[in-house]
Structure 1
């Protein structure tokens, strides 16, 4: 079979065998076996289930890493294509099967062509979805055992036309921070609110005030999103509650805004509760770092994209993603660049990521593989 047919066959096989965070076996086995067959040095079990392949060519001293994520989601697939998930309750609803195959395809191209001078690391990461896999590989000595000067990653984007590539200098994807707070007042009968201290009234003030962080505290040219997503009370339809617990998340594109949101949110929650003579507890955790691209790395990525898909289909100052990406943890250690690859299907309509009928667009598999191969060739010019 030709190159595209082989990539498609691998992708369908991985789609049928989805495995979630730190349970990945099928994808690591496939990429390790194939890379070894092509003469690439392979190390398995990095960060529990991750794989790193190393390919050297010439005498160049530079080394770059290119990374794909491998894990699936805990979702039951409802598609009707012939490569539907064989594992109930699990599916590749985010396209990581396509990411894995594009990087594997690039490894094949580079092993065959050997048209670069230096070292490339093929990094197959587990557990991206919960935001734990990158750190697990780092804790397992990724950058000490496999030194690299830069690192690159990408994600598919069904909301962009198929075959387009987009990136930007600076904030490319947001942090994800989880917050929760509990307001304690004094409950009572719904007919006598004056005899208690309604915590829902305090929450109503807090809910609106939190949006002033977005509109009045954060710089207007840098996106910030704050969402309260869960509310629990100990009340009933005819009883004012004593406690209200609220959970949600916040998204920012810079570390500075991430800290701003945490500080202002704490001030607002504690200040309004104090004003209303209510008690409160507040917790804020950093789940994903912001993904911040290095300017120099973006230049190389844009050059490679233009060579593969053309200048009109390359966007070097694209819109940032408001989703979060575990790749950001790698960028805390070495400079790099994260891109998005358009996978939109015009004829069938676009189905968003994490839907139970999502399926990666096989038409861009060769595009992604060729992009990676061209990036390595440009960055490690012979």
Structure 2
């Protein structure tokens, strides 16, 4: 079955919703305008059970189907990013320093499109829980919603999510059984030395040289402490120090990211970071400390649900346009918390050529919104047929 005709007919309306959201980006949990827009649309669709204020600005809306049955969860993230937009589009962000650079405006629109269709047709048993989530970009909004009990409160038995994927074929789906996205951790290293004049380094304890040594030594974690065929990324992404060409500063700061799929590998990286920082600090005669923050866990699809989601996607776009065994990627996603709580699957939807995610020139491709909405709708109708 191709994109549902009634959802295809919603495309102009969905484009308007998406572009309103794009013009009005909000960050993390602070989404008053976005949440109000979503709730107002749901009420327009005739949905009466709308639970607001979950995880501050999150929403769970319930649509009742025909007769008794289970509850299936569909999730969309709503927050934007702290990026100055440079897309030049007519509907560009109207708020300086904030933009929808990851397509969450499109994800919200896809779920709204599915909501309107499902509220009109109700061609399913049981219930569907529409999960509109804040704070995917660093705030862990999915974790907060799970901790606030949405899975038990609304008796959600399985849960699904979609993310757009620039530079993958437009309208094609990608998913996989098991791990699909990595866990993400962050390390912070503070180095304290003794500052002084750049012409008199013998009177200082130089934190810049120590930072360079630590940064270089960190690279050996992947190359010398880890089995080469297991996935691991350790990247130094920030070094901050110094104020002038003739001053040796008193301190330096290093930050970076770690991407893994195995908790044992996380443990190894954390241990080696602390050992390297301590050893390098001693060798450069400075003091240094390392703080290791564990972030989102790996996103792990339930194998059976991933296979089912791929079959539903094939019903929408054709079997030749669905990859059911896509390679893992080292990006991260807080939908992982929902998948830890309930079986389900996460899929990517190709958006065609264009700037990558988190780029200031990025803009969601409105043409794929009906595809995603049709997938969500068909997922409900196929999982819980009348």
TM-score between both structures, scaled by the size of structure 1: 0.89
Question: Cα distance 1:271–1:59, how it changes in 2: closer, same or farther (>3 A)?
Answer: farther
The answer to whether residue 155 in structure 2 is matched with residue 151 in structure 1 is no
Residues in 1 aligned to 2:239 and 2:246: alpha-carbon distance in whole angstroms: 17
Which residue of 160, 175, 179 maps to 2:168? 160
Superposed, 1:1-382 pairs within 5 Å as 2-40=9-47, 41-185=49-193, 198-233=206-241, 237-238=245-246, 240-274=248-282, 277-345=285-353, 350-382=354-386
Question: Cα distance 1:23–1:311, how it changes in 2: closer, same or farther (>3 A)?
Answer: same
Question: Cα distance 1:160–1:238, how it changes in 2: closer, same or farther (>3 A)?
Answer: same
The answer to whether the 8 A contact 2:73-2:158 is kept is yes
RMSD (CA atoms): 2.5
Q: Which runs of 5+ in 2 are unaligned?
A: 1-7
The answer to whether the 8 A contact 1:76-1:356 is kept is yes
The answer to whether the 8 A contact 1:235-1:242 is kept is no
Tell me the CA shift for residue 318 of structure 1: 1.2
Tell me the CA shift for residue 193 of structure 1: 5.5
Give 3-state SS (helix, strand or coil) of 1:106's partner.
helix
The answer to whether the 8 A contact 2:237-2:256 is kept is yes
The answer to whether the 8 A contact 2:28-2:139 is kept is no
Question: Cα distance 1:128–1:188, how it changes in 2: closer, same or farther (>3 A)?
Answer: same
Question: Cα distance 1:268–1:341, how it changes in 2: closer, same or farther (>3 A)?
Answer: same
The answer to whether the 8 A contact 1:172-1:320 is kept is yes
The answer to whether the 8 A contact 1:172-1:253 is kept is no
The answer to whether the 8 A contact 1:177-1:284 is kept is yes
Residues in 2 aligned to 1:25 and 1:238: alpha-carbon distance in whole angstroms: 49
Residues in 2 aligned to 1:264 and 1:122: alpha-carbon distance in whole angstroms: 43
> Structure 1 residues 47-56 or 193-202, which shifts more?
193-202
Give 3-state SS (helix, strand or coil) of 1:324's partner.
coil
Residues in 2 aligned to 1:42 and 1:214: alpha-carbon distance in whole angstroms: 47
Question: Cα distance 1:196–1:19, how it changes in 2: closer, same or farther (>3 A)?
Answer: closer
Question: Cα distance 1:300–1:216, how it changes in 2: closer, same or farther (>3 A)?
Answer: farther
Residues in 2 aligned to 1:70 and 1:98: alpha-carbon distance in whole angstroms: 9
The answer to whether the 8 A contact 1:190-1:239 is kept is yes
Give 3-state SS (helix, strand or coil) of 2:101's partner.
coil
> Structure 1 residues 48-57 or 243-252, which shifts more?
243-252
Question: Cα distance 1:217–1:375, how it changes in 2: closer, same or farther (>3 A)?
Answer: farther
Deviations 1:208-239 (A, max 9, x none): 33222223333434432212122234585445
Residues in 2 aligned to 1:176 and 1:62: alpha-carbon distance in whole angstroms: 33
Q: Which runs of 5+ in 1 are unaligned?
A: none
> Structure 1 residues 368-377 or 36-45, which shifts more?
36-45
Deviations 1:105-140 (A, max 9, x none): 111222233232222110001121123322332343
Deviations 1:302-324 (A, max 9, x none): 11111111222111121333222
Residues in 2 aligned to 1:15 and 1:166: alpha-carbon distance in whole angstroms: 25
Question: Cα distance 1:45–1:276, how it changes in 2: closer, same or farther (>3 A)?
Answer: same
Tell me the CA shift for residue 247 of structure 1: 1.6
